[in-house]
Amino acid sequence: MDRSTVKFAFNDSVSMPEVEATLRLALLAVESLHGEDRLRLETRTKVDRARHACLVDTTTEVGRTLAAIFGGYVRREFGEEAIGIFLAMTGTCDPAGSVA
């Protein structure tokens, strides 16, 4: 499925398990704002460990909230130099509940 996405690309020094933990924390924050049902229905993510990247579907308000919160968290946790944040017009993401 084609979607508007934000791609978070991490350099090799960043631990992907730590990225996944930070994503789970961001998902909790989004759930607090929008509720569990909207989180499950309107949020899609994909973590690509091999490519050191994470995609967040931003076609919904909830997805845009997740991208903003996750972006703030990872910039502060790993530093500006350790990540790149890019707007991509297409990508395939998985339901929010599928983060490892």
pTM of the model: 0.86
pLDDT > 70 in the chain, percent: 85
Across 52-63, b (16+ Cβ under 10 Å) vs e yields bbbbbbbebebb
Judge contact between 96 and 44, C-beta under 8 A: yes
Judge contact between 60 and 68, C-beta under 8 A: no
SS3 string, 41-99, reads HHCEEEEECCCCEEEEECCCHHHHHHHHHHHHHHHHHHCHHHEEEEEECCCCCEEHHHC
Average pLDDT, the chain: 90
When pLDDT is averaged across residues 22-33 and rounded to a whole number, the result is: 98
When pLDDT is averaged across residues 24-46 and rounded to a whole number, the result is: 97
Helix axes 61-78, 16-34, angle to 10 degrees: 140
When pLDDT is averaged across residues 37-43 and rounded to a whole number, the result is: 96
pLDDT at 88 over 90: no
pLDDT per position as a tens digit, 59-80: 999 999 999 999 999 999 999 9
pLDDT at 99 over 60: no
Query: Residue ranges of the domains in the chain?
Result: 5-93
Arch. (CATH architecture) of 5-93: 2-Layer Sandwich (3.30)
